[in-house]
Structure 1
């Protein structure tokens, strides 16, 4: 919750400084219903941003899994399909314990990053504010994020059993290197 508050405060400050419209929504996690309900309640209580109800959270993550399944069935790979690459990155964020953020303007511009990286960028906005005013928020944020090296990270992509096949090669959403494959069994009691 602390990350959400820090991120929301910093991001709203940037939107105000740049005089841009900004909508935020908390989409939760795929398999952490009680935790998501608790966080959603706190977000609404503190009026930090919008937060989706359980059904919409489920539909969001289920749609991403369906897109991955469809792309895999059609023989798409991360090398030849940018959408599959982005879907896998989003699913990897769901598998992590950290926050994450995606910023976009329609289908034109998009930038995404893990929580630590994006919060660090938001909190150091004074370093790239001039650039944001020149080239726009998303391109400037992308440039800022590219300048942050993340020497230590552990990215997990958890695919459901019924995902329609395991992709042969999976690229890390953070650094682009090939990920190692493991089998994982999980019991998450909330």
Structure 2
């Protein structure tokens, strides 16, 4: 919640400085229903941004997974498919502990980044404000984000899955309920 408040405040400040319209919506995390409900309530109460209802959050993440599955079934290699790359990036953001943001204007301009990068960029807007006034918000933000290098990161992509050789049913050691099965891809640079 602290990250969301910092992000919303800083981003609204950037939009005001550039005199641009800005709409924000919180989409939560996949499979964190109770946590998302709690955060959604706080966001609405504090009027930080819009927030989708529970069903729309589920549909958002489900649709991304469906898009990835469809692209995979059609044999699309990630290297040659920008949509598949972006879908996998958003799904990887969901697997992280940090926030993330996507900024877009219609269908022609888009930039996305993980929470730490985007929040630090919003907070250091004075460093790229002049560029934003020359190029526009999204191109300037993209250029600024490209200049930030991550020496340390840990990215996880968690996908629902079922594969031979792995038990289909495993019970939770804490409560005994069946656990959901996922595949996780991880890249951690320390």
Fold match by TM threshold 0.5: yes
TM-score (norm 1): 0.86
Equivalent pairs, count: 190
Q: Deviations over 1:128-183 (max 9, x none)?
A: 00000000000000000011111100000000016999999999999999999995
Aligned 8 A contact 1:101 1:118 in 2: yes
Q: Which has the higher contact order (CA 8 A, sep 6+)?
A: 1
Asked whether the equivalents of residues 152 and 189 of structure 2 are also in contact (C-alpha less than 8 Å), the reply is: no
Structure 1 unaligned residues grouped into runs of 5+: none
3-state SS of 1:120 partner: helix
- Unaligned runs of 5+ residues in structure 2 are none
Residues 185 and 149 of structure 1: CA distance in aligned 2, closer, same or farther (over 3 Å): closer
More strand by share: 2
Larger Cα-atom Rg: 2
Structure 1 143/77 Cα, relative in aligned 2: closer, same or farther at 3 Å? Answer: same
Matched residues in 1 for 2:74 and 2:62: separation? 18
Compute the displacement of 1:38 (Å): 0.6
**3-state SS in 2 of match to 1:13:** helix
Could you tell me which residue of structure 1 aligns to residue 77 of structure 2? 77
Relative distance call for 1:85 and 1:58 in structure 2 (3 A) is: same
- Distance in 2 between residues matched to 1:107 and 1:173, nearest whole Å: 46
Report if the CA contact (8 A) 1:29-1:94 is conserved: yes
Normalising by structure 2, we get a TM-score of: 0.86
